[in-house]
Homo-oligomer: A and B are copies of this chain.
Amino acid sequence: MTKSVPAFPEIETKGGIWRFPADQPLRLDSGAEFAPLEMAYQTYGVLNDARSNAILVCHALTGDQHMASTHPVTGKPGWWNRVVGPGLPLDPDRYFIICANVLGGCMGSSGPASINPQTDEVYGLSFPMITIGDMARAQAMLIRALGIDTLFAVVGASMGGMQVLQWAADFPERVFSAVCIGAAPRHSAQNIAFHEVGRQAIMADPDWRGGAYVQAGVRPEKGLAVARMAAHITYLSETALQRKFGRELQSDGLSWGFNADFQVESYLRHQGASFVDRFDANSYLYITRALDYFDLASEHDGVLAKAFQRARDVRFCVLSFSSDWLYATSESRDIVRALNAAGCRASFAEIQTDKGHDAIFLEEPALDSALRGFMASAAERRGLK
C-alpha cells in the first residue's frame, strides 16, 4: 500500500535580499554594532492597501526563509508547506506572509559565512556574537523597510517561538497577535548541554580550522554531521523513535561490525550527511549559542511577566506538544503563566501527539486546527476579510 501524500502545489513567492546601508547598523545585545546588515527573505501573498495583513513567520534553528516553496539547495518542498498555502491556516490569498533567514544564518542573511565587505573575506569567527533579541531586531528593521508598521501576526515554532516572545517583549506596539509553538522562555541546562556536545563535535573536527575553513577550502562535515545527529535525537520522542525504528535491522542479520546495523543508525547517519550539504558549521555554532544565551526573564529583572507588561494589547496563542522533551509543555505553561500575570490575553493548548518536538513539521491536524482557529478569530478582530 502506498501512503497518500498530500499535494502541495507550488505557490507563488517573491523574495530577495534587503541590503541596509552601512550607516544603518544593527545594534547588538553584546554592545557592538553590525553593518552592513543583509536580510534574505521570501514573501507569499499580497500586502493589502491598509498594510494590515502582514504575518512574519520566524524559523527554527536550522530552518530558512524557504518556508512554502522549493528549497533552492535541496530541491525539497518548503519546511512548512503543510501550514502555509491556499486554504491552509496561513493563507497567502488572505495574508501577506514574510519569512526571513535569521541573522547569523547561512541562506543569504548576514552570517559567519557571509563576505565582510570591509575585508572582502568571509567573516568566520569575526562575525559578532548574536542573540535571539538581535534576530528579532534585525527582522524589525526588515519589516520596517518593507513598509509595514504593524504585523498582523508574528508566528514561530521552536527557536521561531522564542523570536515571537522577543517581538512581543521588544516591539509590542508593532504586533497585533503572536503565536508561539513548541518553545521555551529560556534554555535549560539540558538544552545547553546538547548544544555544547554539538559545538564540541564541530570544533573537534580538524577541518573546522579554528573557524576559518572556508578560506582553507574545506568544511568540517564530519563534526557538523555528529552535531546534527545528537540534536536530532532531541527532536523525536522516544515513543516515535521506537515506533519508527524499534530494533529493526537494515538487513537480514547483524553485521557483527560497526556498519549501520539498525535502521535508527542509518536514519541518523542520513540526517547528519544531508544536513552538511545545506548548512554552515559556523552558523550552527552562532545560532546554538544565541539559543543558549536566551533567557527572556533575565532581561527583565528575572521576572518573565515583566517582559510582557507592555504587550497587553497583543493576542497570544501558545501551543505545545505533549511528547516534546526538548521544549516541554511545562515550559509553555511558564510562558502562559507569565502572560497571565502580565495581564495579557493568552490562549493555550497542548497538542496530544507522540511525535515529539518534530511534530512542528509533521502531519498534526490538531496543530493545524488550533492555528486555523486562532488566526481566524484574530483576523476577525483585525477586520481582515
B233 touching A193, Cβ below 8 Å: yes
Is A51 part of the contact surface with B, judged by Cβ < 8 Å? no
Q: Which of A291-305 contact B (CB under 8 A)?
A: 292-293, 295, 298
Q: Which of A145-153, A239-247, A338-346 contacts B (4 or more CB under 8 A)?
A: A239-247
Q: Which of A64-111 contact B (CB under 8 A)?
A: none
B129 touching A197, Cβ below 8 Å: no
Is A212 part of the contact surface with B, judged by Cβ < 8 Å? no
A292 to B256, CA, bound (A): 11
B129 touching A188, Cβ below 8 Å: no
* A126 CB, nearest partner CB in chain B, Å: 12
| 22 interchain pairs, CB-CB under 8 A | A186-B247, A189-B242, A189-B246, A189-B247, A193-B229, A193-B265, A196-B260, A196-B264, A196-B265, A197-B229, A197-B230, A197-B268, A200-B229, A201-B201, A204-B222, A204-B226, A230-B230, A238-B325, A247-B295, A247-B298, A261-B292, A262-B292
Known: A201-B201, A205-B204, A258-B203. A268 touches B196 (CB 8 A): yes
Additional A-B contacts beyond A189-B246, A190-B233 (5; CB < 8 A): A189-B241, A194-B233, A197-B229, A200-B272, A254-B293
Q: Max chain B CB contacts within 10 Å: which of A204, A205, A242, A264? A: A204
Residue of B nearest to A196 (CB): B265
A241 to B191, CA, bound (A): 10
* A205 CB, nearest partner CB in chain B, Å: 7
* A189 CB, nearest partner CB in chain B, Å: 4
**What is the interface residue range for chain A against chain B?**
35 or more
Is A16 part of the contact surface with B, judged by Cβ < 8 Å? no
Is A357 part of the contact surface with B, judged by Cβ < 8 Å? no
A225 touching B200, Cβ below 8 Å: yes
B204 touching A225, Cβ below 8 Å: yes
Known: A129-B257, A247-B295. A241 touches B188 (CB 8 A): yes
Is A355 part of the contact surface with B, judged by Cβ < 8 Å? no
Chain B residues near A201: list those with CB within 8 A. Answer: 201, 204, 226
Q: How many of these chains are in the complex?
A: 2
Residues 305-335 of chain A, each 1 if its beta carbon lies under 8 Å from chain B, else 0: 0000000000000000000010000000000
Would you call the interface of chain A mostly helix, strand, loop, or mixed?
Answer: helix
Residue of B nearest to A211 (CB): B258
Which of B223, B244, B262 is close to A192, meaning CB atoms less than 8 Å apart? B262
A196 touching B242, Cβ below 8 Å: no
Chain B residues near A245: list those with CB within 8 A. Answer: 189
Is A199 part of the contact surface with B, judged by Cβ < 8 Å? yes
B242 touching A188, Cβ below 8 Å: yes
A242 touching B192, Cβ below 8 Å: no
Is A19 part of the contact surface with B, judged by Cβ < 8 Å? no
Is A187 part of the contact surface with B, judged by Cβ < 8 Å? yes
Is A269 part of the contact surface with B, judged by Cβ < 8 Å? yes
A192 to B229, CA, bound (A): 12
Is A15 part of the contact surface with B, judged by Cβ < 8 Å? no
Is A285 part of the contact surface with B, judged by Cβ < 8 Å? yes
Residue of B nearest to A254 (CB): B293
Is A372 part of the contact surface with B, judged by Cβ < 8 Å? no
* A47 CB, nearest partner CB in chain B, Å: 37
A244 to B292, CA, bound (A): 17
B188 touching A238, Cβ below 8 Å: yes
Is A206 part of the contact surface with B, judged by Cβ < 8 Å? yes
Is A30 part of the contact surface with B, judged by Cβ < 8 Å? yes
Is A337 part of the contact surface with B, judged by Cβ < 8 Å? no
Chain B residues near A187: list those with CB within 8 A. Answer: 247
Chain B residues near A265: list those with CB within 8 A. Answer: 192-193, 196
Is A289 part of the contact surface with B, judged by Cβ < 8 Å? yes
